[in-house]
Amino acid sequence: MMNANSFYRPRSGLDMLEQTAADPRERGRVVLESLARIEEVEPEVRALTAVAQRETALTAAAGATGPLAGMPIAVKDIFDTSDLLTCYGSPIYEGHQPKSDAAIVTLLRRNGGIVIGKTVTSEFAYMNPPVTRNPCDLARTPGGSSSGSAAAVAAGIVPFAIGSQTGGSTIRPASFCGIAGYKPTLGMLPTVGMKCFSWSLDTVGLFGAGARDVAYLAQVLSGHQLAVDDVSANPVFGVPDSYPWTEPSANASTALDTAVRAIEQAGGRVRRVRFAPWMADLVAAHNTIQSYESYRALGFEYDHHRADLSPLLAGFLERAARVDTTSYAKACVLAEQAKTRLAGLFDGMTGLLTPSAPDEAPDGLASTGDPAFNRNWTLLGCPCVNVPGLKGTRGGPIGVQVICRPWDDARCLEAAAFVEQAIAASVGRVPAT
């Protein structure tokens, strides 16, 4: 069972958009509900670093046009915002006020979205645990580094949120918080104006109540046809028989088996697949690339403000300084070679199905969890979706991950919606619509 103090209450953005489309006067109410929910849960959940002024948000909602007109949306605090402080999760940037919006924020505003607040991030989107608590169980981590974005959606503060992923920072928090998380193909959404950690890996991530919600938001922001109306019949999923990074817990394996049974009951098919040896090599390649690039991307902070970095990040950057250019180049070549082999990995299948994380959210706030099940797909640029709807043996949410080849995002989102619908039918829940 969930913690007695559970604040879990995600709301479907698509349902809210239907209401505001039928009556534009509802936009103001939706914004006020978001602000009221912040007052209600923020002291306990601690998802936000800054909140928009009431009158400013209401004025923006009244004049909003576009497919997100009037929707309150939260943005991870590594994206610049011209009207809200942007501190990147670090005391180095306390009080920092950018002069311009990040590109993804501009896209939100152009399409009528209301940036209602900035969400807590791990320091520079690395792994130092922040203060945010899991709305499903306040005694557990919400994951990271997009901690506040996942928690804000799970707690019903906003229907949509923007996060990011360099290792597993979107899929893992979505799994821990029981919502949908979508990591698009690398480069589909712009990272201009986002604090860089690794320019080869950083990817904008999206959060919503369910797969259809993130698909709609992705379509609006990307211009690609990604919204899911009807799920396709008889998708085929490949389920790996083992993993070269770490084995899932019995808990995660049980959740995956439950999803497999639900898929088969809904008319889908599942095939066992085996990863080739090159998949194991990518684990080290991801670390090499991330280390080399982060030491340069955070060079100013490391060189001039090292005492203000957490011991965890400072230690990582100290080790990262030892990665030489030759090793980096070899890792980049290995990654590019692996991308050319992806077609064979997905041959004859709609997508892969794996656990989203090794287990449900750990107890306590001392760790954001293990991104082992996410890193390789981030390196390869694959679209991934966390599918919610399952519970672990300790009562917390635990997700399964749908993965497709790069630029096959529409298929990935549609397949995720199929899995979500199948799980809901199997366990007797209603999926987000």
What are the residue numbers of the active site?
76, 145, 169
Cβ(252)–Cβ(372) under 8 Å?
no
In what side-by-side order are the strands of the sheet with 236-240?
Answer: 48-51, 114-119, 72-76, 160-165, 203-208, 180-183, 384-387, 400-403, 351-355, 236-240, 269-273
Total residues belonging to the chain: 433
Cβ(74)–Cβ(117) under 8 Å?
yes
Torsion sign across C-alpha atoms 250, 256, 262, 263: negative
**Cβ-proximal residues to 307 (8 Å cutoff; 6+ apart), any chain:** none
Residues facing 270 on adjacent strands: 237
Cβ(368)–Cβ(122) under 8 Å?
yes
Torsion sign across C-alpha atoms 98, 103, 104, 108: positive
Question: What is d(CA 176, CA 182) in angstroms, rounded to the nearest whole number?
Answer: 14
Q: What SS3 state is found at 24?
A: coil
Backbone angles phi and psi of 395, in degrees to 5: 95, -5
Residues facing 107 on adjacent strands: none
Question: What is d(CA 240, CA 255) in angstroms, rounded to the nearest whole number?
Answer: 14
Question: What is d(CA 108, CA 75) in angstroms, rounded to the nearest whole number?
Answer: 10
Q: Which residues of 63-94 are buried (b: 16+ CB within 10 A; e: fewer)?
A: ebeebbbbbbbbbbbbbbbbebebbbbbebbe
